[in-house]
C-alpha cells in the first residue's frame, strides 16, 4: 500500500514544478526546461493514478456496505459491481507503484546503436542488415529519426558493422533491452542443399551522453586521424580526407565516421558515438557495483549474452531471458516489435518492484 503522505509530497512537488515552468528563466534554458517537463509528466501521472486508485477504493467500500443493505435492488447493484472493483483496484495499485519507481534519467534519451556481424560469415552480415532494417522500420512507425554514422558493407549484402543514431521520444526506454547476441536460424540464399544455418549478430544500445553527465574529454586524450572515405558517397567524397577516426587514448576506444561529405560533420558524429560509449562504460561500472537492473532476470546488457533466436522456418522468435516465444517472426522482422518489447519492459518493472 502506498503511503498517502508520500502522495501528498508528490502533489506539493508538482505545484512547485508547475510554478517553475512558468518562469522565464526556465524557458531560457533548454536543458532545464526539458528536465522540468519530464519531471512534470512523471509527477502528474503519479497524481492521476493516485486519484484513480483512491476513487476505486472508495467505490469498493461503498459497494461492500451496500451489499448488505436491506434494499434488494441496491444490494443486487452492489454485488454486481464488486467483482469489477475487486479486479480494478489491485491493477490501479500496481500501476501507481510502477509510476513511483525511481526513473532512469537515460530512458528519455536518444541512442547510438551498433550492430556487428558475428559467426556465420556472409549470412551473419545479411542478418545484421535485416536487424538494421527491423529497427529502422520500428523507428519510422514511431516517428523517430534514424541517422547512419558509419558502415562496413559486406560483399554479398548486409553489413559487417553498422553504427547509427535513433532520435525521438523515450527511445532508450523502448530499445534498451536489445543489447546482446541475436541468433538466426534459416536457409541462406547461397545454400543449394536447403540446409538450415545458424548465424549471429551482436547489438549494442548506448544512451547518448547529455550535459548533465559531465563527461569531460580533454583534447589531449583524443587522437584524430583523417583519411579518404570509401563506399557510397561518390567521387567528391573520395577526393578529400573527409573521413574521421577518433581514438580515446586512456581507454583505447576507437570511433570512425565517413558517412558525411564534411569532415566537420563526420567529427561531430564520431564524438557523439565516443561520448555514448564512454557513458555506457561508466553506467556498466556503476551497475556492476550496485548489482542493479543489468544483473536482473531480463539480462545483464552484456554484449556476449545470447538474448534471442530468430527461427525463420518455423516463423518463431524466442527471447531466452524471459522465456517468451512468438510465432510472428514475419511481422517482427518488418518492425512490429511492440509484442516483444512490452513483455520485456513489464518483466523488468516487476523485477524492480520485487526488489523494493
pLDDT at 233: 44
pLDDT at 281: 82
The contacts of residue 242 (CB under 8 Å, 6+ apart) are: 226, 228, 229, 258, 260, 261, 262, 263, 266
pLDDT at 303: 54
Q: Which residues on neighbouring strands pair with residue 204, listed in sequence order?
A: 114
The contacts of residue 335 (CB under 8 Å, 6+ apart) are: 133, 134, 135, 136, 137, 138, 140, 141
Q: How far is CA 195 from CA 117, 314, 319, 327, in A?
A: 20, 14, 24, 21
Cα(162)–Cα(133) distance, rounded to whole angstroms?
11
pLDDT at 294: 38
Please report, for the chain, the start and end positions of each structural domain, with discontinuous segments joined by +.
Answer: 4-100, 108-356
Helix (H, G, I), strand (E, B) or coil at 146: strand
Helix (H, G, I), strand (E, B) or coil at 73: helix
Cα(215)–Cα(253) distance, rounded to whole angstroms?
15
Which residues in the chain show pLDDT less than 70? Answer: 1, 190-192, 211-214, 229-240, 286-304, 356
pLDDT at 301: 46
How does DSSP assign 22-41, residue by residue? TSHHHHT-HHHHHHHHHHHH
The listed CATH number (1.20.120, 3.30.70, 1.20.58, 1.10.10) that belongs to domain 4-100: 1.20.58
pLDDT at 192: 64
Query: Contact at 8 Å (CB) between 208 and 151?
Result: no
- Which CATH fold would you assign to the domain 108-356? Alpha-Beta Plaits (3.30.70)
Cα(80)–Cα(82) distance, rounded to whole angstroms?
6
Model pLDDT for residues 46-94, shown as the tens digit of each residue:
999 999 999 999 999 999 999 988 888 888 999 999 999 999 999 999 8
pLDDT at 235: 42
Please report which residue ranges of the chain form alpha helices under DSSP H. Answer: 4-21, 24-27, 30-66, 72-100, 122-141, 171-175, 235-239, 263-290, 329-332, 338-354
pLDDT at 319: 96
Amino acid at each position: 500500500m502506498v503511503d498517502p503522505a508520500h502522495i501528498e509530497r508528490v502533489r506539493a512537488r508538482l505545484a512547485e514544478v508547475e510554478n517553475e515552468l512558468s518562469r522565464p528563466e526556465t524557458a531560457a534554458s533548454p536543458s532545464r526546461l526539458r528536465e522540468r517537463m519530464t519531471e512534470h509528466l512523471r509527477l502528474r501521472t503519479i497524481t492521476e493514478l493516485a486519484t484513480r486508485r483512491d476513487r476505486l477504493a472508495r467505490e469498493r467500500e461503498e459497494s461492500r456496505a451496500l451489499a448488505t443493505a436491506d434494499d434488494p435492488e441496491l444490494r443486487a447493484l452492489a454485488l454486481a459491481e464488486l467483482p469489477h472493483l475487486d479486479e480494478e483496484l489491485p491493477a490501479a495499485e500496481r500501476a501507481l507503484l510502477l509510476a513511483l519507481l525511481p526513473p532512469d534519467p537515460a530512458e528519455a534519451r536518444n541512442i547510438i546503436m551498433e550492430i556487428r556481424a558475428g559467426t556465420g560469415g556472409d549470412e551473419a552480415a545479411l542478418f545484421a542488415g535485416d536487424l538494421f532494417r527491423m529497427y529502422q522500420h520500428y523507428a519510422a512507425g514511431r516517428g523517430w529519426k534514424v541517422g547512419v554514422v558509419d558502415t562496413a558493407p559486406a560483399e554479398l549484402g548486409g553489413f559487417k558493422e553498422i553504427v547509427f543514431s535513433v532520435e525521438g521520444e523515450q527511445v532508450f526506454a523502448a530499445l534498451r533491452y536489445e543489447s546482446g547476441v541475436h541468433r538466426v536460424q534459416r536457409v541462406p540464399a547461397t545454400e543449394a542443399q536447403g540446409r538450415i544455418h545458424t548465424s549471429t549478430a551482436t547489438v549494442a544500445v548506448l544512451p547518448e551522453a547529455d550535459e548533465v553527465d559531465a563527461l569531460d574529454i580533454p583534447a589531449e586524450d583524443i587522437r584524430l586521424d583523417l583519411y579518404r572515405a570509401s563506399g557510397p558517397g561518390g567521387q567528391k567524397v573520395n577526393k578529400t580526407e573527409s573521413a574521421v577516426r577518433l581514438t580515446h587514448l586512456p581507454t583505447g576506444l576507437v570511433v570512425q565516421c565517413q558517412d558525411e561529405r564534411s569532415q566537420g560533420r563526420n567529427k561531430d558524429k564520431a564524438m557523439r558515438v565516443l561520448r555514448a560509449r564512454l557513458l555506457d562504460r561508466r553506467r556498466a561500472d556503476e551497475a556492476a557495483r550496485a548489482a542493479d537492473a543489468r544483473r536482473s532476470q531480463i539480462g545483464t546488457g552484456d554484449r556476449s549474452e545470447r538474448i534471442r533466436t530468430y527461427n525463420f522456418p518455423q516463423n518463431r522468435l524466442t527471447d531466452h531471458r524471459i522465456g517468451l516465444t512468438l510465432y510472428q517472426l514475419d511481422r517482427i522482422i518488418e518492425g512490429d516489435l511492440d509484442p516483444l518489447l512490452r513483455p520485456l519492459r513489464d518483466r523488468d518493472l516487476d523485477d524492480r518492484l520485487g526488489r523494493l
